[in-house]
Structure 1
């Protein structure tokens, strides 16, 4: 079954539901996985111990492994005493489970302290690949995240084994101090990344200051083929990386979508991005260990980190430390890395330009209004706006109104009253993101991520976006499906409001719901670089699961949130669909 046949089946499934299946998750209900979120002091790299949000006591959290075509329930406990939490399943479409996307200002109330919430996750056939999960509250995802792998029913590429390389960064201050500074008037910046971590460990340097912390070890054997799953779980860092002595990497997957093999000697991995590459290990290695070197890009200073590719015996374990100096000369930031080079492994239903009904322009701008904020088409979206999750407000009809397409068409796609971007089911839209000079003239690079479904990535460039010229670049080939791609900067500064850099996507609107589209740099998200999209009309969005079945989702701490004295009641979307077939 193709990716889009599977997605169509998912959409048709909720249309087939006669009535919601509401079940009490009492002691007889056994979730497929349990994640417990705590706040603890831990030491990372060379930094002093500080407060972090952990999942099952670690950062990154435990690996979750799912199989495409199956439905899972994952229970998330908020064991913190003073902070809310949600969990977002980055890259997976929650089309039929609208309250399981884990976005607290959009689709669900957060999980209160001392409560738990059961997330229903269905993975359509065709979405096997590399994903991750993370908190979507504040700055918690700097540590509260972990790998999520969806296994194939039939693996299209051969490899002997696979390894996860989960990339994080960490900062001098704790997550609460950083968050308070980012929303302060005036801005108190988080500082640059103090370390780059691989699988929770890392040493190297930050702005020239050395850190001699122990490194993560990736064990391999000679003469074999490994699938390396790189996951960009960073808050800020846009990583350039390569492997000493191994200059041939074959990209086979980007953001959960298989691609035709594409050769590269290095990778660039931004926050939210994932790549799988095939690594053919040396048949006769001349040394037992090789360094994996990572460096930050598009920042005022360089943070460097390392890990170890280990051909030596894995037992007894050895402790490895970073080299005194750089091992590799990594390239500078490659603007347009892999643009126009990645093509789907199997043909998709990529709509031609003639099918595009309209183009939505999303203009990004940093402004100082006392606070330093990021505006999209002149409006920010921060955790204090709206005062309740947008989908909840639509159900209750007590706050922000349903977005007006008429107003949106007059404002480059954004309804300024609701601050949401409406879209109609069945339409094909091109989304063009524009990078503009800040009030101060500065420019940043931004990894933009879409919830809800994947888009066809049409590429990027400088100057004025020319749809006809850009379409010709594909020359009969299809672009890859992605969920996170870079809006580059073509200089470090320009005039206030001057456009300098664009990124174009094509989206076929198939999933009714309320979805976020945002920069995945955590600092920028907190400062307002987020947008909300409402796909479908009121009937399509709100009748997925009608009232009264949704009542427990509409109140903070409602009866869908369990605690020590109360079992939750949850709507089973996919169980319902299966029972009605």
Structure 2
């Protein structure tokens, strides 16, 4: 058995090497290693350490290799093994724009094996999903116009999987969107399916991928996806205005499995209140204080010392600014960040859309599914001050109390107390064995993402061609035994039951009663612009994500007292009060937080045919039914079906 494991480890390592050598920028990275960190003086010593490292790994269980690897590990030679594991030990995922911005489009191929193992990301043992042995999964870097080919093999037991490419428009590739029930069946156990699609020439920015089957995202099935914008720069030493380009996948974390959390939420015991997280992670790492565990829910825990925490940027001197790409990969809470000895300038949101932003001490709130790129301007003495990254989970305090509210005051997201959670945590930016958290002495200046506007005017029409009016609500109905369910216009979504095929492969006449899919005609002769008004009838915010599209946010309203719904069809009453629409410089996004007891008005050009999902990105709301779709083109009855949607079903049989 040990020999079989060793051979499996070796084969997997070899596959990683071959795959990396096929990727763009391989030779350029190799040259940088040869002339940089891996100098002639260090190379002999490096080979010795690398050889000892590989011997140690091959003598143990194969999971050790990936458990000790940084999330962005990329192995292309023994030199890279030494470089990544010995020299580049950092928690942040370092990106390589110079490898992609000036090359021609190409095909990038990955082979992913999905498994599950017990890991302790924050010191607490939990069953975690792994992709090629990694948590988070592999980071995909590419450029606009590339073709991605991802072969996904499911090694889970009695559990299907799917992968969604969050923020990508997936033009002419609706069947590759990864939404179970809408565009595909889940990939069954021991089956392999392939996602193959082109990245749009106009798309560039920070994206991510995650499971879109059941609640796998909540247990770690996610990773980064960064698309670099093409330039004419040929020199890899081009100054981008920042020295490092670093990805941070930040989110809340539960010590129970996501299935257990969902079962509690949808039971009568929870009364429709969301379970409060236990911890938070940055790129799959955190620090839970074992003594804070709730006695009623014991955990297997090992305390992680401050000196054992890997720093965001490793060991270096802070000189030029740093670009941080922030992704909220969590299940429930938004977050705000600060960095001591630094100021933050917001650059772009979601899929690389520029916004107006001045330097501030903190930025947020970034809700689940949203992304925010910031430029970090370091103070002159930042390196010697050992700066800290401060993350605050947003509990969405009750507006009837002062903000910020003390921790003992009522709040909306964290309705049940969880004494184990530390909602405010710090992570070291630089490597130091003795330094503890730094504080920010100055009066903080905060950048509020909710009030951001686009960096340039937008060319959008003054009126839409079609308006879709929606109401989102969590309800506990007696016909459902008072189990809470998410509803969109009185429809609680669940996958098509009979026949059990994705919607794109069935005519509308075969869809069951759980499918709310408004039809939007697509015209080849003229543009069709659509408004969606999403009213939130709940006491907490709902971050909604629309697949296949980005949209302009024309209005957003939060009601602190009473109800604040809006209907463009109402002729009297509070719902008839028309909002002031921003048609000049509205922010463009693909995920938007709909405020409590309020609404948002979004507008988009319906030019991407297919059936696309619109859902709340709070994992438990989505899983309990707060989802729907839109059908663009294809005939109102969807008589001409896309048989390619059944390909994943064939792989699942």
**Match in the other structure for 1:259:** 354
Quote the offset at 1:205 in angstroms.
6.7
1:163 maps to which residue? Answer: 246
**CA-CA distance at 1:87 after TM superposition:** 0.3
Partner of residue 482, structure 1: 589
Question: Residue in 1 aligned with 2:485?
Answer: 373
SS at match of 1:231: strand
Residue 426 of structure 2 is aligned to residue 306 of structure 1: yes
CA distance in 2, matches of 1:465, 1:261: 28
Assess, with a 3 A threshold, how the Cα gap between structure 1 residues 562 and 429 changes in structure 2: closer, same or farther: closer
Higher relative contact order structure (alpha carbons within 8 Å, sequence separation ≥ 6)? 1
* Aligned position for 1:497: none
Asked if 1:242 corresponds to 2:338, the answer is yes
The match for 2:547 is: 451
Judge conservation of contact 1:74–1:119 (CA < 8 Å) in 2: yes
Query: 53, 74, 81: which one pairs with 2:150?
Result: 74
TM-score by length of 2: 0.67
8 Å CA contact 2:341–2:378 kept in 1: the answer is: no
Alpha-carbon spacing, 1:381–1:417, altered in 2? closer, same or farther (3 Å)? closer
Q: 1:321 and 1:432 mapped to 2: Cα distance?
A: 49
Where in structure 2 are the equivalents of 1:86-165 lying within 5 Å?
86-142=162-218, 143-154=220-231, 158-165=241-248
- SS for the counterpart of 2:387 is strand
Residue 159 (structure 2) pairs with residue 83 (structure 1): yes
Take 2:349 and 2:210, find their aligned partners in 1: how far apart are those partners?
19
More strand by share: 1
Q: Cα distance, 1:226 vs. partner?
A: 1.4
Q: CA deviation at 1:327?
A: 4.2
- C-alpha contact (below 8 Å) 1:232/1:270 kept by paired residues: yes
Gaps of 5+ in 1: 1-29, 313-317, 402-415, 438-442, 490-499, 564-581
Matched, 1:428 2:550: no
Structure 1 pair 427/205, CA: closer, same or farther in 2 (3 Å)? farther
User: Shift in Å at residue 73 of structure 1?
Assistant: 0.8
Write the distance in 1 (CA, Å) between the matches of 2:169 and 2:292.
Answer: 41
Q: Give the equivalent residue in structure 1 for 2:410.
A: none
Secondary structure at the counterpart of residue 448 of structure 2? coil
Contact 2:347 2:373 in 1 (8 A): yes
Change (3 A) 1:105 1:196: same
Computing the radius of gyration from Cα coordinates, the structure with the larger value is: 2
Answer yes or no: is 1:536 the counterpart of 2:633. yes
**Corresponding residue of 1:17:** none
Distance in 2 (alpha carbons) for counterparts of 1:306 and 1:562: 43
Sort the Cα spacing of 1:435 and 1:215 in 2 relative to 1 into closer, same or farther, 3 A: farther
CA contact (8 A) 2:493 2:514 kept: no
CA contact (8 A) 2:319 2:378 kept: yes
Q: CA deviation at 1:165?
A: 1.1
Aligned to 2:72: none
What are the Cα deviations for residues 45-71 of structure 1, in whole angstroms up to 9, with x where unaligned? 132x22222222222111111110121
Please say if residues 167 and 197 of structure 1, whose CA atoms lie closer than 8 Å, have aligned partners that are also in contact.
yes
| Offset from partner CA, 1:385-429 (integer Å, 9 cap, x none) | 67634424425x77218xxxxxxxxxxxxxx78421221224212
Q: How many residues align?
A: 482
Shift in alpha-carbon separation, 1:423–1:539, aligned structure 2, 3 A: closer
Q: Tell me, in whole angstroms, the C-alpha distance in 1 between the residues paired with 2:192 and 2:334.
A: 33
Secondary structure of 1:280's counterpart equals strand
Cα 1:364–1:478 shift into 2, 3 Å: same
Once residues 459 and 226 of structure 1 are traced to their aligned partners in structure 2, the CA distance between those partners, rounded to angstroms, is 32
Q: Structure 1 residues 447, 186: closer, same or farther in 2, change over 3 A?
A: same
Q: 1:338 to 1:114 in 2, by over 3 A?
A: same
* Cα distance in 2, alignment partners of residues 75 and 234 from structure 1: 25
Is 1:59 the equivalent of 2:144? no
CA 344–454 in structure 1, closer or farther in 2 if over 3 Å, else same: farther
The TM-score with structure 1 as length reference comes to: 0.75
SS in 1 for 2:325: strand
Gaps of 5+ in 2: 1-106, 234-238, 295-302, 397-412, 559-563, 569-575
What are the residue-to-residue correspondences of 1:163-312 with 2, within 5 Å? 163-184=246-267, 191-203=275-287, 212=304, 214-219=308-313, 221-246=317-342, 248-263=343-358, 264-267=360-363, 268-285=365-382, 287-297=384-394, 298=396, 299-300=413-414, 303-310=423-430
